[in-house]
Amino acid sequence: MDYIKQISNNNILWAAIVSWFVAQSLKVLITLIYSHKLDLKKFFASGGMPSSHSSFVVTLTVSIGQLYGYDHVLFAIAAVFSFIVMYDAANVRLEAGKQAALINQIIEVLEDPNLNPEERLKEILGHTPLQVLAGGILGILVALAFFGA
């Protein structure tokens, strides 16, 4: 049972979780401000502003840098991991979302009775570069709030 205590005392993990929570909460708030509706589904949705994936991994990376040094191997591993996640969010997943939107349009045009329009593909999968950047900045701020400048 010592592992539960270790996890509960892992401040790097908690900083990353707080960063994810803040990013997801901001999605709900931004939707409320711009759409004038409270959409709590946004809290668990992927895509949108800011990127919680970017925020999560950047907080992890910067926290490691703050605690162990920016020349430590753990920082290098986390940084590479962060770059992959952020690239994926802004490129691969964004393009997959565009493909989903196009497929949904094709389904509408075909009006095939065998295709169920209720089973639409999720179109918001990825992030714009600005959303990824905003998530990254949020990640840095949360890590610095936890571990000092």
Which phi and psi (to 5°) does residue 80 adopt?
-60, -45
Q: Which tens digit of pLDDT belongs to each residue from 120-142?
A: 555 555 677 788 888 888 888 99
pLDDT in tens, 69-97: 999 999 999 999 999 988 888 777 666 76
Domain of 20 in residue numbering reads as 2-147
The mean predicted confidence, pLDDT, of the chain is 83
Q: Residue 120: what pLDDT? A: 57
Count of domains observed in the chain: 1
Question: Measured between alpha carbons, how far is residue 132 from residues 9, 72, 87, 113 in Å?
Answer: 29, 25, 9, 39
pLDDT attached to residue 76: 97
Query: Whole-model pTM?
Result: 0.73
pLDDT tens column, 25-84: 999 998 898 888 887 887 887 777 888 889 999 999 999 999 999 999 999 999 999 999
Beta-carbon contacts of 11 under 8 Å, excluding residues fewer than 6 positions away, are: 63, 146, 147
User: E-strand spans in the chain?
Assistant: none
**pLDDT score for 52:** 87
